[in-house]
């Protein structure tokens, strides 16, 4: 099954998955979103699952309004990938040293750099706009300004949860570098501040779910949120750019004899807001666990830490608001995964991948996610596959 529509209060719910396969709590969230007075469209991706405020794997198009909890707390979270000149034959049999070097270069978990990364010292990294970006920090919410030092030291760090850095190979044997991260703690604090503000506004008091509180156009609260939202999205983009530059430096040093070169980077947010026009209307499109898939635009749809990922090209399907899924999508919660699976299961499901195989990452086990091939197959009218990647190294937070 691919595309189907089901009725919603204000708009039909456009789905790229079997409605019967969607968990009840997630379906209720979708129906709740469809009641919002400002809603103009709702598209549901095949990786859909229950989330805070709104379902992960949904695209919410509203006119003159935006819901900060639907954007989520990891503002600007997304993916970057780059194809290298290396081939599988260049890789050593034991990849533990390479994983260790990556972990030394890129802080993971709650870690941060001892000193802020100077982009000027990174190989061939464009630095235009850097000073202006940090200059705009003075305009963000007062509630988070004391976090600037932490924000500068977390720039170029991975974080935890489902964030990762990978070395992969494709069907031709080419080696790719890929990573997944967002706006770190500063994005979370900005999001939580604005969600709190939105929930107290009078126009949000009658909503079916307080997590669907919105800011509306032409108000100071909307202006403040948009300012901080777009700044945090830029932080996330810079964060991935710095990490990729650090990762490339590791690869240059470890494969000095091969003199690796790198193709242009593919980068895409999958938790963000964009101003886009559909059916003659200027809309604020929130992609919560979804990527933009405009005609010819490259995107990245990762699977789990043992199954591989896809590089795709968008087909520009306006029914989905030019969107596609952001990954495989969880089929069980983190706590459920910890109850069901053991470290032995993790070792078995990540066989052949150089990665952590301890209890700290059991909640990221491949079995906790939907099959990525099925997710890709359900959106053949949204994207075309360019390459399938299989990880050989996976660094988790």
Among residues 49, 193, 269, 326, which one is catalytic?
326
Alpha helix stretches (DSSP H) within the chain: 24-33, 68-71, 96-105, 130-135, 148-154, 184-199, 220-254, 334-340, 343-349, 372-377
269 is known as an active-site residue = no
Q: Report the C-alpha gap between 15 and 44 in whole angstroms.
A: 5
Q: Report the C-alpha gap between 183 and 273 in whole angstroms.
A: 14
SS3 29: helix
- Selection from 47, 50, 59 nearest residue 373 by Cα: 47
> Who's near 325: CB < 8 A, 6+ residues apart?
16, 45, 46, 47, 57, 289, 290, 291, 301, 375, 379, 382
| Chain position carrying tokens 């195989």 | 357
- Selection from 242, 8, 26 nearest residue 125 by Cα: 242
Kindly tell me the burial class for residue 102, based on how many C-beta atoms sit within 10 Å of its own C-beta (0-12, 13-18, 19 or more).
buried
Measured over the CA atoms of residue 18, residue 21, residue 27 and residue 30, the dihedral's sign is negative
Q: Report the C-alpha gap between 18 and 260 in whole angstroms.
A: 44
Going by the DSSP 8-state scheme, the letter that residue 27 receives in this structure is H
Beta bridge partners of 267: 80
Going by the DSSP 8-state scheme, the letter that residue 262 receives in this structure is B
Q: Report the C-alpha gap between 16 and 324 in whole angstroms.
A: 9
Torsion of CA 314, 319, 323, 324, to 10 degrees: -80
Active-site amino acid positions? 326
């Amino acid at each position: 099954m691919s595309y189907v529509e089901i009725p919603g209060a204000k708009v039909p719910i456009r789905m790229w998955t079997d409605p019967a396969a969607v968990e009840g709590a997630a379906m209720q969230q979708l129906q709740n979103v469809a009641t919002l007075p400002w809603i103009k469209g709702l598209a549901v991706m095949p990786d859909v699952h229950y989330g805070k405020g709104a379902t992960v794997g949904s695209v919410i198009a509203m006119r003159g309004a935006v819901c900060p909890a639907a954007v989520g707390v990891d503002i600007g979270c997304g993916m970057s990938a780059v194809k290298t000149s290396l081939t599988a034959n260049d890789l050593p049999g034991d990849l533990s040293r390479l994983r260790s070097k990556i972990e030394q270069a890129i802080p993971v978990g709650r870690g941060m750099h001892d000193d802020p990364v100077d982009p000027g010292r990174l190989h061939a990294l464009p630095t235009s706009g850097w000073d202006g970006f940090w200059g705009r920090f003075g305009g963000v919410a007062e509630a988070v300004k004391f976090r600037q030092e932490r924000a500068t030291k977390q720039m170029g760090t991975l974080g935890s949860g489902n964030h990762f850095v990978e070395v992969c190979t494709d069907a031709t044997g080419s080696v790719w570098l890929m990573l997944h991260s967002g706006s770190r703690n500063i994005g979370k604090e900005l999001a939580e501040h604005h969600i709190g503000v939105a929930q107290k506004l009078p126009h949000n008091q009658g909503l079916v779910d307080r997590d669907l509180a919105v800011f509306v156009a032409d108000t100071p609260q909307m202006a403040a949120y948009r300012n901080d939202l777009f700044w945090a999205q830029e932080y996330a983009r810079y964060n991935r750019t710095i990490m990729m530059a650090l990762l490339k430096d590791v690869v240059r040093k470890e494969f000095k004899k091969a003199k690796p070169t790198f193709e242009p980077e593919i980068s895409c947010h999958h938790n963000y807001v964009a101003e886009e026009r559909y059916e003659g209307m200027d809309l604020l499109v929130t992609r919560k666990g979804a990527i933009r898939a405009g005609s010819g635009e490259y995107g990245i749809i990762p699977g789990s830490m043992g199954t591989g990922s896809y590089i795709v090209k968008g087909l520009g399907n306006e029914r989905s608001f030019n969107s596609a899924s952001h990954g495989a999508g969880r089929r069980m919660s983190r706590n459920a995964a910890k109850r069901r699976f053991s470290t032995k299961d993790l070792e078995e499901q990540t066989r052949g991948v150089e990665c952590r195989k301890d209890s700290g990452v059991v909640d990221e086990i491949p079995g906790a996610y939907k099959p990525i091939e099925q997710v890709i197959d359900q959106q053949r009218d949204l994207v075309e596959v360019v390459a399938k990647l299989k990880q050989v190294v996976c660094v988790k937070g």
